[in-house]
Amino acid sequence: MAHGHKSNEKVVYVGDSRVRKSGPMIPPDYSAFPGKSEVFIPNFLLKEWMVGCVALVGVLVLVMQEAAPLGYPADPTNTTFIPMPDWYFLFLYQFLKYPYVSGDTLKIFIGSIIIPGIMFGGLMLAPFLDTGKERRFYKRPIASAFMFVTLIACIHLTVVSWMHYQKELTDKNIIPEHIKREHEMEEAKKAGGGGGAAPKPAAGAQIVAQDDKGYEIYQKATCINCHAKDMKGVSGMPALRGIGDKHSKDEIMKIIKEGKGGMSKQYDDNIKKGLTAADIDALAEWLGKQKKQ
Ligand code: HEC
């Protein structure tokens, strides 16, 4: 309205707190702006809906660009998994690690309910607490100081939390699951898996010797998490059908013990799962027998 208005047209500021209003707070009547207003229903609302639809379709198209990656099946025996909240909650997560808000129930209650309650409650009450007319931040020292201290504290806690997480990963030699999965996808793509889609099992290969003890062990081993019960490979992972044509028993044993490309060592994990050394030997032997007939 400030641009290009006729000089004799009266400029009316609507809803600007700098304008002191005298008298009762009566919302301005928009019929005072002929040609510059429209009815809310249906005109305005219809336009909003149309814009909303376009935005929604845009988001849908973006979402459909890439298949949603599926995580590994949850494994309660996995001790190398470090649960982490999303980045915007890292500051709260880090805060709860400090000794004065963790340990006994009262401290946990203070750390998880009372303090965040005061902080977020204060944020909600800010318009009622900070009622000064002044708009410039440097003339509102108390409110500004609270904002800066909180902001710096949040950034600091987030950074500390993230660095601690990275250190834990290097100390324990853990590759986070999503990174591992990405590597595996890359490897699978390179190996001709064709990006996420399950690679075709070796043409015509069937599971050999299903009555063997090895098949039973395979079903209990970690291998099925990635190579699937039917040995065709979970999305993007290599199939193990016909693997005997490619690797001997000893080579397979070596892959189980040392890993290969995107596959991490599996030996210890299977021992932890309750398989014995003899079981794993029988498994490798059975896999070595998986030849196309
Ligand atoms: C975390 C997922 C995962 C688990 C669990 C896993 N593998 Fe693998 N495996 C892979 C990936 C990925 C590859 C492809 C590695 C490469 O070639 O870079 C692979 C490759 C292999 C290969 C070589 C395939 C080829 O075509 O050369 C063998 C053999 C194998 N795995 C056996 C096993 C056995 C046996 C187990 C269980 C003891 C097992 N894997 C558990 C992911 C896994």
- With b meaning 16 or more CB within 10 Å and e meaning fewer, what string describes 257-282? eeebebbbebbebbeeeebeeebbbb
Q: Which amino acid is at 172?
A: K
Q: Which residue has the tokens 């809906």?
A: 49
Q: Ligand 1 centroid vs 165 CA: distance in angstroms?
A: 28
236 C-beta closer than 6 A to ligand 1: no
| Burial class of 226 by CB neighbour count within 10 A (0 to 12, 13 to 18, 19+) | buried
Query: Is the distance from CB of 73 to CB of 226 less than 8 angstroms?
Result: no
Identify whether the C-beta of residue 107 lies closer than 8 Å to the C-beta of residue 114: no
Q: Which of 284, 224, 212 is nearest to 251 (CA)?
A: 284
**Mutation test residue for ligand 1: of 178, 179, 223, the one with most atoms within 8 Å of CB:** 223
pLDDT for 20 equals 63
Q: Can you give the pLDDT of all 293 residues of the chain as single tens digits?
A: 445 555 666 666 666 666 666 666 666 666 666 777 778 888 889 999 999 999 999 999 999 988 776 667 777 887 777 888 999 999 999 999 999 898 899 999 999 999 999 999 999 998 898 888 888 889 888 889 999 999 999 999 999 999 999 999 998 888 887 788 788 778 877 776 544 444 444 445 778 888 888 888 998 898 988 888 888 888 778 888 888 888 999 999 999 999 888 888 899 888 988 889 999 999 999 999 888 76
Ligand 1 centroid, distance to 68 Cα (angstroms): 22
Ligand 1 centre and the CA of 234: distance in Å?
Answer: 11
Residue 227 pLDDT: 87
Distance CA 103, CA 96 (A): 10
Q: Which string of b and e fits 43-52 if b means at least 16 CB within 10 Å?
A: eeeeeeeeee
Q: 232 CB under 6 A from ligand 1?
A: no
| CB contact at 8 A, 189 and 262 | no
For residue 251, which atom of ligand 1 is closest to its CA?
Answer: 29
Q: Is the Cβ atom of 205 under 6 angstroms away from ligand 1? A: no
Give me the pLDDT at residue 177, please. Answer: 77
Residue 17: its pLDDT value, please? Answer: 65
Q: Give the pLDDT of residue 178.
A: 77
Whether the Cβ atoms of residue 196 and residue 219 lie closer than 8 Å to each other: no
Which atom of ligand 1 approaches the CA of 180 most closely?
Answer: 1
191 Cα: distance to centroid of ligand 1 (angstroms)? 12
Q: Which residues contact 280 (CB under 8 A, 6 or more apart)?
A: 217, 221, 253, 256, 267, 270, 271
What six digits make up the tokens of 215? 């098949």
Q: Is the CB of 246 under 6 A from ligand 1?
A: yes
**Which protein residue has the closest C-alpha to ligand 1 atom 6?**
223
Nearest CA to ligand 1 atom 3: 226
Q: Which amino acid is at 175?
A: I
Dist. CA 46–CA 35, nearest whole Å:
18
What is the 166 CA–ligand 1 centroid distance (Å)? 27
With the most atoms of ligand 1 within 8 angstroms of its CB, the residue from 263, 267, 271, 283 to mutate is 263
- Residue count (the chain): 293
User: What distance in angstroms lies between residue 260's CA and the mean position of ligand 1's atoms?
Assistant: 7
288 vs 245: CA distance, rounded Å: 8
Contact at 8 Å (CB) between 238 and 227?
yes
